[in-house]
Structure 1
Amino acid sequence: MSSPSKHRSKKQSKFKRLMHKRLPISKWLPEYNSSKAVADLIAGITVGLTVIPQALAYATLAGLEPQYGLYSSFVGCFIYIIFGSCKDITLGPTALLALMTHQQILGRNTDYAILLCFLSGVVQLAMGILHLGVLIDFISVPVTVGFTSATSVIIAVSQLKGLLGLQFESGGFLDTLKKVITNIPKARVEDSTLGISCIVILLLMRKIKAINLSPSRKGLKKTLWLLSTSRNAVIVVLCSVAAFILKQYQLTPFKLTGKVKEGLPSFKLPPFSTEYGGKNVTFIEMCSDLGSSIVLVPIIAVLGNVAIAKAFASGDSIDATQELITISFANIFGSFVGAMPITGSFSRSAVNHASGVATQFGSIYTGALVLLALSLLTPYFYYIPKAALAAVIICAVIFMIEYEVVKPMWRSRRADLVPAFATFALCLAIGVELGILAGVAVNVLLLLYPSARPQLDSEVITNGSGFSYLMVTVGNSLYFPGVEYIRQYVERVAKKQGGCSMPVVIDCRYVLGADFTAAKGMCSLSNSLSSRGQPLILLSPRASVASVFRNAGSSVVVVLTNSELDTTLQNITGQVPLLVINGQEKRQTPPPNYESLRVDDDVTEIVITDEKNTTPLLNRNGNKPRSNEVNNT
């Protein structure tokens, strides 16, 4: 019997593990020191310089005013310090979620984006509590590749409008592309020149950190790295300064962002009703308008966040449930300050990692920098050229097009290209939400196809005992999609190869599973074959498969070994196999008198007698776990 002190110690240890799991800050904060604080400060400020221009750009992409991007960029930082399980992840707006948000608020007001943020958090929290993170597993890598590549193309094309200084209203990807092409003659030279120049400079600045320098020039190398990392902020600041100077001379060659609301957002409940188009819209009507995005947006957000966590985990296990709960809190509380849906950003997380972040505390400096920008810098956001923001977005998303995976997919399994290209094409044609649903459906169909059309082989076998039978090998599981296909195949080859009386044996060694429909289908096949004198036997099924047939009440004969198969064939056909009598193999066909053959749970008995003499010529006993009886032949 354990002592009270040991019992108390176990409870304390269990509580401590739970605290470390659900409140990761309780694990790393006691070990925090000055060196980690310095590393977090540098990383946090570096990420902050990246997130501010991106937030402004992504708000524009989502169809919102620029300040909403900043509203979406600080709450997640503070939440992740407490609940986040991966030090490298930074939460905030992303191009992908901005695009999905834009498609939902198109023609509507900002309240829809804020409500979508709140509902995304609620759905994510429910998934975390109910451990429904398994739903993410249904979105395979090929589907994800097709989806992210398509959204990258859609985002890049959508930004051509701002890059070239065009003015038009458009719907989906195809409509936008068509209008960009038709409106190219109307492109503004100043905006086009600035936008294209920004893209070229951003791409060059992205490469300067890879310049090989001698070890003695470590300071220059760090400077180039910092310049490359903060390239978005550098471009936005330089373009804004240029626009400001030109404005002083009454020159406005570029389309500017315009007035941005000053100050911090107010903390209030998210909008559960709204007014637009001259009518009041209730919460139910808003949810109906948002449709499937209420589920898809949070799932995509979690998918991206878990993928980032795995990429930077450095071999550590990732608690997907904890990440779900963390993102849910970030979205729920973010909606109280007017945020749009957020998740982990791969580009900013990579910057965080490369900056040498030590703990999740680095996010507090990023969040503080965003709040500082909202408090002091919003008047200057007026001068940011739209072409510069478009260039920032385009340079961020073009590297999300995962064309490099096509070659390894082709080499490893070409069928995986089908859902990848299907998702890519459908996202471009019918929108990202329906596109990813269709891609998942295509992928599921590919998974089900082997069950619907399993590999089947057949051959006539004569074993060592002299019994001939038709062996049909099933190369996949016995599930309902393939039952009718297997049945038709077996009946066809049974007639063609097996004659009218040859037993049919289905080799189940490679069958990993079965269901009730399969059990009933095999029973029906057995009855059909038996009606023309062909018995059906299942050979060597797994215990789980045999259990399905047994519990479904199937009358199909099941044998586990080849020796049992020989005995059962002898039982059914009434033939006597090759026997070893007096050290010599002899075939008794026909036997003097086949008196009886009984195989029950305890004993197997074969009795062969002479027609005139009832004294047994051969009596053989043995234990066999099978039950059946054949009358005199």
Structure 2
Amino acid sequence: MCAMWWLVGSFQVIQDNTVLHLPEEKYLQKISNSASIIKPTVKEWIKDRIKRGFTKKLLYKRIPILSWLPEYNVNYAISDLLAGITVGLTVIPQAIAYANVAGLPAEVGLYSAFMACFVYTIFGTCKNSAIGPTAISGLLARENNHGMGVNGTILLCFLSGCIEFLMGALQLGFLIDFISGPVSIGFTSAAAIIIATTQVKDILGLDFVGGKFVYMWQQIFKHIGETKLWDAILGFTCIIVLLLLRKIKDYRISPKDDKEEKTIHIIVIKVIWFISTARNILVVVLGAIAAYLCEVHDSTPFLLIGEVKPGLPSFSLPPFHATIGNDTVGFLEMSNFLGSAVIVVPLLAILENVALAKIFSEGKTIDATQEMLALGICNIASSFVGSMPVSGALSRGAVNDASGVKTTFGGVYTGIIVILALCIFTPYFRYIPKACLAAVIIAAVVFMVELHVIKPIWRTKKTDLIPAFATFLSCLFLRLELGIVVGIAINVVFLLYASARPSVNVEKVTVRYFIIYKIKFKKINDSGYKIVS
């Protein structure tokens, strides 16, 4: 007890007597003075916090471009230019295709692909992350639109940005931990199957209004007799070509001994890699050329995406009202229609972007808070140009990494490529067949179905498959947001059960006057067997 005198008292043992040294008078005086200090007012406290917050270190942390821009050089600029152009050629067909997934005009996808690139260059920390539209955000926007059209999607983008920024400001990144690996796997796999299902009708050239997963397949089989032969041929051919081009970059040509032949070998590898990387734009361009040649000869064998609004969008506030039928709804009604998507979309965007940053971090620590803030600002800024929700995508990140990007400035060149496409090439976009875009989406999302993880999970912890399959089935047959909630709920139940029933055995042993407690922990090794130690 005596040793707890504010850590300034002490014991001294003289033979068998214990002598306590009381605190010195100066310490008692200091304690007395500290008790009488007047607490600052709220205004003074806020002023002090602001003064502490606006430091050079924090400024460089919150605006990362300030830390690397002074060291930017010509070599970095060339690498970023090449990577930015390559990603730009990748994102253009993706953006148009993802707008189709969201049930929006093609130009909305392109609007979503440039503003976020510029903003992330300033506030982002991951050089490989190319912010833009994604298939999952497009699907969630479609499922929660409820007839609000483009206005509803733009508002979802704005609100998602606000939620992401708020989570970053309040450091609520721990919420992502509730979306465990099995839940994420189940959700992603179900979303991929739903996205592919929505594109089957365009592959077959069918024309009907989409809906839920089961309803879509009912309509596909109902209208299967109306399949357009040339659309189906073009669609399946594009899928095969895309999958083959995806694989050719993995093959290596053996180098020759001669120096000149080595140079040719390097050039051939680079050309093959570029063709494989730019496969989406190549397939779309070739499909558009085929459609144009058919139109010149007075033939229209393919369903086309139609006219695309040319030029850049106007910079304006996000819409806080929408027209549904003959009725006009305000902000509260629109928010009510969007429902849980306002929370789910930003959570998934953050999860995807942070995961992407970790993959390409090269061992560096990821500032998840800064990524939330950056993603929030990207979505807020993009909503002012009529965008759908945006986030990083692994496919674009892989292209950036393979292209040798050095800094986030590569996003500036990507944004410029998209702007040039909007200003110059939109009159030619109308020739793009829907079957080509559907093939681009299907060839991309088919690899999101993570069947390969089932075996490792079964070997290590079989119970993790329960939330995974529950999430998967709920997303398929209910709603994507409900599927996430179901998965998280089951996961939390398992965590609570494990906490209430810990794998610990305690044995009480009495030896003479002593009581000994033997604690045995059960752990699971890689083979799945429990070991008692």
TM-score higher than 0.5 = yes
Q: Secondary structure of 2:511's partner? A: coil
**Counterparts of residues 433-472 of structure 1 (less than 5 Å):** 433-454=481-502, 463-465=510-512
Deviations 1:176-211 (A, max 9, x none): 122223322221111100000000000111111122
Counterpart residue number, 1:153: 193
The CA distance in 2 between the partners of 1:435 and 1:123, in whole Å, is 21
Counterpart residue number, 1:358: 406
The reply to whether residue 39 of structure 1 matches residue 79 of structure 2 is: yes
The reply to whether residue 181 of structure 1 matches residue 221 of structure 2 is: yes
The answer as to whether partners of 2:186 and 2:471 remain within 8 angstroms in 1 is yes
Displacement after TM superposition at 1:474 (Å): 9.7
* Rg comparison, structure with higher value: 1
Which residue identity lines up with residue 465 of structure 1 in the other structure? R
Deviations 1:446-493 (A, max 9, x none): 11112344457687x773339999x998979xxxxxxxxxxxxxxxxx
Counterpart residue number, 1:343: 391
Deviations 1:221-278 (A, max 9, x none): 1000000000000000000011001101110000000011111100001001122210
Choose from 172, 176, 197 the match for 2:212: 172
Which residue identity lines up with residue 93 of structure 2 in the other structure? P
Displacement after TM superposition at 1:108 (Å): 2.8
Which residue identity lines up with residue 252 of structure 1 in the other structure? T
Q: 1:192 to 1:30 in 2, by over 3 A?
A: same
The answer as to whether partners of 1:206 and 1:229 remain within 8 angstroms in 2 is yes
The reply to whether residue 110 of structure 1 matches residue 145 of structure 2 is: no
Displacement after TM superposition at 1:14 (Å): 9.2
The answer as to whether partners of 1:454 and 1:474 remain within 8 angstroms in 2 is no
Counterpart residue number, 1:73: 113
The answer as to whether partners of 2:112 and 2:387 remain within 8 angstroms in 1 is yes
The CA distance in 1 between the partners of 2:175 and 2:131, in whole Å, is 22
Counterpart residue number, 1:426: 474
The answer as to whether partners of 2:148 and 2:322 remain within 8 angstroms in 1 is no
The answer as to whether partners of 1:63 and 1:106 remain within 8 angstroms in 2 is no
Q: 1:13 to 1:62 in 2, by over 3 A?
A: closer
Unpaired segments ≥5 residues, structure 1:
1-10, 477-509, 511-633
Aligned residues: 465
Q: Which has the higher contact order (CA 8 A, sep 6+)?
A: 2
TM-score, length basis structure 1: 0.71
Counterpart residue number, 2:34: none
The CA distance in 2 between the partners of 1:321 and 1:308, in whole Å, is 15
The CA distance in 1 between the partners of 2:111 and 2:215, in whole Å, is 31
The worse-fitting range, judged by mean Cα deviation, of 100-109 and 325-334 is 100-109
**Counterparts of residues 114-513 of structure 1 (less than 5 Å):** 114-215=154-255, 216=262, 217-454=265-502, 463-465=510-512
Counterpart residue number, 1:526: none
Counterpart residue number, 1:100: 140
Deviations 1:50-82 (A, max 9, x none): 000000000010000000000000011000111
The CA distance in 2 between the partners of 1:109 and 1:239, in whole Å, is 28
The CA distance in 1 between the partners of 2:190 and 2:213, in whole Å, is 10
Displacement after TM superposition at 1:124 (Å): 0.8
Unpaired segments ≥5 residues, structure 2:
1-50, 256-261, 523-532
The CA distance in 2 between the partners of 1:466 and 1:315, in whole Å, is 53
Displacement after TM superposition at 1:20 (Å): 2.3
The reply to whether residue 24 of structure 1 matches residue 64 of structure 2 is: yes
The CA distance in 2 between the partners of 1:183 and 1:445, in whole Å, is 44
Q: Secondary structure of 1:91's partner? A: coil
The CA distance in 2 between the partners of 1:458 and 1:22, in whole Å, is 49
Q: 1:94 to 1:458 in 2, by over 3 A?
A: closer
The CA distance in 2 between the partners of 1:46 and 1:467, in whole Å, is 73
Q: Secondary structure of 2:208's partner? A: coil
Percent identical residues: 51
Displacement after TM superposition at 1:17 (Å): 2.4
The CA distance in 1 between the partners of 2:309 and 2:117, in whole Å, is 22
Which residue identity lines up with residue 27 of structure 1 in the other structure? S
Which residue identity lines up with residue 135 of structure 2 in the other structure? A
Which residue identity lines up with residue 157 of structure 1 in the other structure? T
The CA distance in 1 between the partners of 2:243 and 2:90, in whole Å, is 15
The CA distance in 2 between the partners of 1:219 and 1:108, in whole Å, is 51
